[in-house]
Amino acid sequence: MFNLQGKVALVTGGSRGLGRADALALARAGADVIITDILVESDTEGAATAEKYGALAQVMKSTGAVYAEQTRDEIRTMGRRSAAYKMDVTDKAQVDAVIARVKEEFGAIHILINNAGTLDHVTQIENQSTELWERDLRVNLTGAFNCSQAVWPIMKEQGWGRIINMASVAGTLGGFGQASYATTKAGLLGLTKTLALEGARYGITCNAIVPGIIATEAYNMSNPKMKERMEARTAFKRPGQPEDIAHAIVFLVSEEAGYITGQGLPVAGGIDLFTF
């Protein structure tokens, strides 16, 4: 089951965390995988790019938590084709150029994982930054729109496609101090349903993953007391692992999930249940 041989997948924000786990899981299932990210190891302008996109990007760059090309190399050792490209999902012209390059070099794009996102704008509503609000809209929501629109004609022509949007429980439950993040993640669920409706006649499905707290590099840098409080809200009393998300994605992009579309699948350890 879940054999993705012959499929070409593109993962945005694939340099670390959930995106990296997704890319590796897709490759293990047989897919050729392209990783895109604003941060790529060999990019000589990486520091300037990180500064442009905020504190979290700067931390990841400064600590060396950038694995786009390393992930590409790991995938190639599995016998799959792979590439790592610098791509800013908010730059529509750049997105269109990268998608065209992938289509030319790999011959197809069957799977798109809209994983790129920001989550470092945490403050209550009266202190939310207008600049960061706009950034979060551009990255988290418009970025997914840009990438989906770019691959749409390719998937229509193929008569087969899978799009996965990375939402969040913040988009379904709200997030204290996360107005911009929660809003964009809720917006992704609306985009998911619309793409599902429009894509069904062309053999394109679109679903969303709704993660809870996942032990990524960013989460592990969080305040320990805050992590303890969040973990206590889950039924399992622990965070999930990036692989938990990746395994759900492999299922949703497989032939076996071909009749599932327009859904938001919680992979959240029961954080949305009444726990005490």
Rounded distance, CA 160 to CA 162, Å?
7
Q: Which residue has the tokens 């899978």?
A: 162
**Cα 30 from chain centroid?**
19
- What Å distances lie between residue 223 and 121, 171, 192, 219, 230, CA to CA? 15, 22, 32, 9, 11
Structure tokens at 64: 């060396």
Q: How confident is the model at residue 159 (pLDDT cuts 50, 70, 90)?
A: very high
pLDDT, residue 229, reads 94
The answer to whether domain 8-267 has CATH 3.40.50.1980 is no
pLDDT, residue 244, reads 98
- Catalytic status, residue 181: yes
Answer with the residue of higher pLDDT: 61 or 188: 188
Angle (CA) 226 164 193, round 5°: 100
From the candidates 53, 67, 85, 181, give the one annotated as an active-site residue: 181
Q: Is the pLDDT of residue 1 over 80?
A: no
Rounded distance, CA 201 to CA 174, Å?
33
How large is the C-alpha radius of gyration of the chain? 18
- 3-state class of 186 per DSSP? helix
Tens of pLDDT along 67-113? Answer: 999 999 999 999 999 999 999 999 999 999 999 999 999 999 999 99
pLDDT, residue 57, reads 87
Q: Is the pLDDT of residue 276 over 80?
A: no
Distance between start and end Cα atoms, the chain: 37
- pTM listed for this prediction: 0.96
The answer to whether the beta carbons of residues 32 and 257 sit under 8 Å apart is no
Q: Which residue has the tokens 């997948």?
A: 9
